[in-house]
Structure 1
Amino acid sequence: MGAVIRRNVPQVIVTIIIVLMVLFYFFYISSDVKTAFNTGDKALTDWVIVITAMAAIVGGIDILRYHVNQSRKKEPKQFFFSGIVIVMEIIMVAFAVYALSSGIAITTQANFQWLYTYIFAPSDAAMYSILVFYIASASYRAFRVRNPPALLLLIVAILIMLGNTSLGEMIWSGFLPIRDWIMSVPNTAAFRPITMGLGFGIIILGLRLLLGKETTWMGRRE
């Protein structure tokens, strides 16, 4: 009985919500129904925020548990980094709880804001800087001229880079108009089929949810 409930009740709830959302969004019945739909839509949005917050809490607990297990192994290469993650997460949570108990917004609490501004933000920027070198190495491998399409990709990439940098403006002022034309005409034309495919994919996913064919969101395979 419990397995039947776990299998069917979530599917029924999702089906009802999808049908009601599509029905009330695309078809006008009356002003009262429209008002009720807007109220329900806002309630669902609020619930999404609550569920997202709970998922973030679960994710934080899972990260803490993972690094605690890693630190217990006492591996020289991982022990130091896991210790930093554990200490920083405990400190951030402690300051957040202190802010909530004091009636202060978490983002404006002085210690929390200092840690975010002077530790998290620079570390995040450093990670993106390291990622730039990785992208540069990947670009070097991708821009090897093996065939005509690869040559075209290389030429377009050079024009875009010269149009986005001050060096290109110093060399020739025409790189900027060329970059704008590439981004607004060929790039837009290539991006539209991708957007259309994304839309069709969302429709197909909705139909699979309605028909009960998509079950991975419930944590099980078909």
Structure 2
Amino acid sequence: MVLVAFIAALIFRPDPSSVKADFDYSSMPVLGDPNAPVKIVEYGDYQCPACRDFNLNIKPDLVKNDIDTGKAAIYFQDLIILDGKGIEDSNRMALAAHSIYHQDKDSFWKFNDAIYREQGEEKTGWATTDFIVNLAKSEKLPIDYDKLRSDIENKTYQSEVDASNAKADKLGVQSTPSFFINDKLYNGNYSYNDIHQAIETASKGE
């Protein structure tokens, strides 16, 4: 029965390109004007090297040319894709990000940038609670560091992390980074020019 259920899940997994995501944008961290005509949702894992590459090499141009100009806003959602030891680090960082977001929304993005910048090797156990709290301190985030530690250790926001992953599964998303632009899966290349062109297209309602 388990095998049958597993096969059925594979067969009936939705094609993300054919599903309208219908996100609750008000519940997610946002960088830019929430009223921007184009909304980009990134599904990311803080241990994902490709996510790091996007954050360090593509997002700065998006911020400068599309987000700061009011054309687009970017949102973040968790998608933990590693298993074994890796899932512990990824989940711990996601819990920290949620704690920081709930304490000070602007600090979420500073932490997001810092954790990708300092990203270690996958499945090596680098993202300890001490490492995360010390990173938040080094970035001088205006938050309660003891609360951050407590939220990580007590998994205060586990239900939010789980809900983000469940949403990704429902949409058929299986890799990071994955992007939705105005609720539609982005299928283009991961380069600034291609994403910018997709933003231009979406801004015209296409």
Considering Cα pairs closer than 8 Å and 6+ residues apart, tell me whether 1 or 2 has the greater RCO: 2
Identify whether the pair has TM-score above 0.5, normalized to the shorter chain.
no
Q: Larger % of helix: which? A: 1
Q: TM-score, normalised by structure 2?
A: 0.20
> Which structure has the bigger radius of gyration?
1
Q: Larger % of strand: which? A: 2
Q: TM-score, normalised by structure 1?
A: 0.19
